[in-house]
Amino acid sequence: MKKIIFLGWLVLFLAPVVCAQEKIEAPVWNVGDKWFFTQGNIEVIGADKRSYALNFSKDTCFLENVGFEKIIFEKSTLNRTYILKADMREKYTLDRRRILNFPLNSGKQWQDTFTGKILTGPYTGQLTHQFSESFTVLGWEDVQVRAGKFKAIKIEYKQKITTPGAIFHGTTGWMRYWYSPDAKYFVKCQYDKDFFVGVDDWELTSYELKK
Instruction: Give residue 44's pLDDT.
Output: 98
Q: Which helix (H) or strand (E) holds 29?
A: none
CA pair distance 104, 186, nearest whole angstrom? 13
CB atoms within 10 A of CB 14: 10
pLDDT of residue 87: 80
What are the backbone angles phi and psi of residue 115, rounded to the nearest 5°? -125, 130
For residues 62 and 163, give the distance between their C-alpha atoms in angstroms, rounded to a whole number: 23
Our count of domains for the chain comes to 1
* pLDDT score at 117: 62
Tell me how far apart the alpha carbons of residues 118 and 63 are, in angstroms, rounded to a whole number. Answer: 11
**Domain of 148?**
27-208
Q: Is residue 22 part of a domain?
A: no
C-alpha–C-alpha distance, residues 200 and 81, integer Å: 26
Beta bridge partners of 145: 148
The Cα 128–Cα 132 span in angstroms is 13
Residue at 151 is within a domain: yes
CATH number assigned to the domain comprising residue 137: 2.40.360
* Distances, alpha carbon 139 to alpha carbons 83, 152, 174, in Å: 30, 8, 17
- What is the SS3 assignment for 148? strand
CB 37 within 8 A of CB 56: no
Q: Does some domain include residue 171?
A: yes
Is 16 domain-assigned?
no
pTM of the complete model = 0.85
- How many whole angstroms separate alpha carbon 93 and alpha carbon 51? 17
Beta strands, E only, 67-208: 70-74, 80-85, 88-91, 109-117, 128-145, 148-161, 172-180, 185-191, 202-208
CA–CA separation, 159 and 112 (whole Å): 10
Residue 156 lies in a domain: yes
Asked whether residue 13 is domain-assigned, the answer is no
pLDDT mean by block of 10 residues, the chain; 211 residues: 44 39 90 97 97 96 90 98 90 94 97 77 60 97 98 97 83 96 98 92 97 81
Rounded Cα distance, 169 and 109, in Å: 23
Query: Residue 19 has what pLDDT?
Result: 40
DSSP β-bridge partners for residue 203: 188
Indicate whether 82 belongs to any domain.
yes
In a domain, 6, yes or no: no
